[in-house]
């Protein structure tokens, strides 16, 4: 299994239009058939010193293996998402894990 987790910080977190646009863009990624499971989320209301809740959106994608992840990276839907939405975020942090 290959798990790809991405955190997004918006340029303008106060903008509901930007939030809606990024959320909608993230949802388009679920159409990519190489993904086994996809979750789009926002920070939970948990507050402990070890929890980073500074991000605006998270994306967690599960793939059967690294090859499926690599296909996703080059998929036209993913590339269109980046092209359309990259202006919305100021920072992206990615964590990939395998089991």
Average pLDDT per consecutive 10 residues, the chain (99 residues; last block may be shorter): 98 98 98 98 95 96 98 98 98 97
Backbone angles phi, psi at 6, to 5 degrees: -125, 135
Specify if 15 maps to a domain: no
| Residue range(s) defining the domain that contains residue 88 | 21-45+52-98
pLDDT at 88: 98
| CATH number, position 39 | 3.30.70.100
H helices within the chain, ranges in order? 16-28, 66-74, 76-85
User: Degrees (nearest 5) of the Cα angle 19, 78, 31?
Assistant: 85
Specify if 3 maps to a domain: no
Place of tokens 């299994």: 1
Specify if 12 maps to a domain: no
């Amino acid at each position: 299994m290959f798990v790809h987790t991405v955190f997004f910080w918006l340029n303008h977190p106060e903008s509901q239009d930007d939030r809606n646009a990024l959320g909608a863009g993230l949802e388009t990624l679920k159409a990519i058939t190489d993904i086994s499971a996809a979750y789009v989320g926002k920070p939970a209301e948990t507050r402990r010193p070890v929890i980073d809740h500074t991000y605006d959106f998270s994306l967690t994608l599960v793939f059967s293996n690294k090859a499926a992840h690599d296909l996703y990276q080059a998929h036209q839907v993913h590339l269109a998402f980046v092209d359309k939405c990259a202006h919305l975020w100021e920072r992206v942090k990615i964590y990939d894990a395998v089991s």
